[in-house]
Every structure is written in structure tokens, then in C-alpha cells.
């Protein structure tokens, strides 16, 4: 309780001095730094999944190959939705720094909507794959594919739940040094997921259409 009051006081103080609120307290600043450590660990996690996928790519065991399986229209839409959501999430951070509570909430909701759109396309793609007999247990290639892309999809799902909770907190508490820090961190997570997707559409989908 006391810390919430303290946060609000610091928020007032720092707003006058034009410091982004999420860095206004030592606590907030350290938590943002800590999140970069987490992201570095996530980079290593995904690199292992990418390495596995690249090696397993040709091991189709007589099942469908990536060229037969990947649908350009589907992954093009997924790419567009996730990239756009990363952009709208950036706008939400921009609005937060202007102290525009309604703007933050609106742009975060747009971001969530694009995130859900992305997930919709991805689920559709996975369902279509499975109906075509391309299940996770069919071949080494498909195991690696569903593990890599599925892990990313799970992160996106998690991000949507997380972002929703941040929207609720901002709606209830307004923008203070705590909610702004939470919003900034969830936005880092969201941009990071788009970075991972850049490498998925490059190394998995586009490469899978070439070789």
C-alpha cells in the first residue's frame, strides 16, 4: 500500500522533470534491466530451437516437405499482423510517455486485436496441416517445426493474457511509475516476439519455400 502511494508521489515528481516514468524509480529501472536479461535468455532458447529446426528440415521421413506444406498466403498474413501489432504497441508506448491514458489503452487493445488475428491464422494453419496428415509425430522435420513455431505461438498467447492484465491495471490505476513500467516491459516482450517472428518467416517459411 505504502509503495503505491510512494509510486504515485514519485510519478508526480518525475513527470515535471520530463523523465520517462518507467525509469523514474530505481526499482522500475532495475526491473526493466532485469527484463533485458530475461530476453537475452529467450534469445538463447529460441536459437536452440532454430538450430534444431534447420538440421531437421530435410528429415521428412517420406512425409510432407516444407515446400509442399507451407502456404504463402497464410504466413504472409501472420507476418503482416504481427509486424503491425508490434508497431501499434510502439504507438502505445509513445502515448504512455505523453501521459495519454486513453491512448495507451486504445493502442494496446488494437495490439491485442492484431495479436489475436495472428493467432487465428496460426491456429488455422496448424489445423490445416494436421488434417493434411502433417502431425507433429509424422517426421523429425514436423516435430522441429511445430516445436519452434508452437513455442513462439505459446509466447504470443501468453503475451496477450499479460497485456490484457496490464490494460486492466492502467484502466484502474492510471499511468504511474508502476503501471508505466509494467506497460514498458510488456511492450519489450511484444517487440521481442516480433523479432523472433522475423527469423521464423525468414529461416522457416521463406527458406522452406526455396529449399
Partner 1 sequence: MAQSSAELHKKPSPQNHHHETFPWKHIVGYIISLVLTALAFGTALRLHLSTTMTLTIIVFLAVLQMLVQLFMFMHLTERIHGDTFQKIFIYTGVFFAAVVVVGTIWVMTFKSAVS
Q: Among candidates 167, 211, 157, 143, which has minimal Cα distance to 189?
A: 157
Binding segment (CB under 8 A) for partner 1, from list 49-57, 109-117, 128-136, 162-170: 49-57
Distance between terminal CA atoms of the chain? Answer: 58
Instruction: Classify each residue of 34-71 as buried b or exposed e, where b means 16 or more C-beta atoms within 10 Å of its C-beta.
Output: ebeeeeeebeeebeebbeebeebbeebeebbbbeebbe
CA distance 82 to 115: 6
Determine the interface stretch with partner 1 among 48-56, 137-145, 154-162, 163-171 (rule: CB under 8 A): 48-56
How many Cα atoms within 13 Å fall on the side-chain side of residue 175? 23
Q: Rounded distance, CA 104 to CA 82, Å?
A: 18
* Residue 44 near partner 1 by CB under 8 A: yes
Residue placing its CB nearer to partner 1 in the complex, 40 or 127: 40
Q: Is 20 in the site for partner 1 (CB under 8 A)?
A: yes
Contact status: 41 vs partner 1 (CB under 8 A) = yes
Nearer to partner 1, 68 or 127 (CB): 68
The distance of closest approach from Cβ of residue 93 to partner 1 in the complex, given in angstroms and rounded to an integer, is 8
Q: What is the C-alpha to C-alpha distance for residues 206 and 204, in angstroms, rounded to an integer?
A: 6
DSSP 22: G
Nearest alpha carbon to residue 8 among 175, 129, 136: 175
**CB closer to partner 1 out of 18 and 137:** 18
For the segment 70-129, give every residue that binds partner 1 (CB under 8 A). Answer: 72, 76, 79-80, 83-84, 86-87, 89-91, 93-94, 97-98
Sole binder of partner 1 in the list 8, 29, 63, 164 (CB under 8 A): 29
Residue ranges binding partner 1 (CB under 8 A):
2-3, 6-7, 9-10, 13-14, 17-20, 23-27, 29, 32-33, 36-37, 39-44, 46-48, 50-52, 54-55, 72, 76, 79-80, 83-84, 86-87, 89-91, 93-94, 97-98, 188, 191-192, 194-195, 198-199, 201-203, 206-207, 209-211
Amino acid at each position: 500500500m505504502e509503495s503505491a502511494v510512494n509510486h504515485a508521489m514519485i510519478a508526480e515528481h518525475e513527470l515535471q522533470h520530463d523523465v520517462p516514468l518507467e525509469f523514474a524509480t530505481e526499482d522500475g529501472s532495475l526491473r526493466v534491466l532485469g527484463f533485458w536479461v530475461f530476453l537475452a535468455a529467450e534469445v538463447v532458447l529460441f536459437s536452440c530451437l532454430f538450430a534444431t529446426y534447420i538440421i531437421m528440415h530435410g528429415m521428412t521421413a517420406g512425409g510432407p516437405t516444407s515446400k509442399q506444406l507451407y502456404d504463402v498466403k497464410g504466413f504472409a498474413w501472420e507476418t503482416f499482423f504481427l509486424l503491425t501489432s508490434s508497431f501499434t504497441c510502439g504507438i502505445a508506448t509513445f502515448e504512455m510517455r505523453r501521459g495519454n491514458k486513453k491512448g495507451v489503452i486504445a493502442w494496446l487493445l488494437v495490439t491485442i486485436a492484431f495479436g489475436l488475428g495472428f493467432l487465428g491464422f496460426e491456429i488455422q494453419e496448424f489445423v490445416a496441416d494436421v488434417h493434411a496428415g502433417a502431425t507433429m509425430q509424422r517426421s523429425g522435420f514436423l516435430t522441429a517445426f511445430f516445436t519452434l513455431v508452437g513455442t513462439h505461438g505459446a509466447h504470443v498467447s501468453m503475451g496477450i493474457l499479460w497485456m490484457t492484465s496490464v490494460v486492466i491495471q492502467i484502466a484502474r490505476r492510471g499511468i504511474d511509475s508502476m503501471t508505466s513500467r509494467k506497460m514498458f516491459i510488456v511492450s519489450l516482450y511484444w517487440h521481442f516476439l516480433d523479432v523472433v517472428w522475423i527469423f521464423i518467416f525468414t529461416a522457416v517459411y521463406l527458406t522452406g519455400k526455396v529449399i
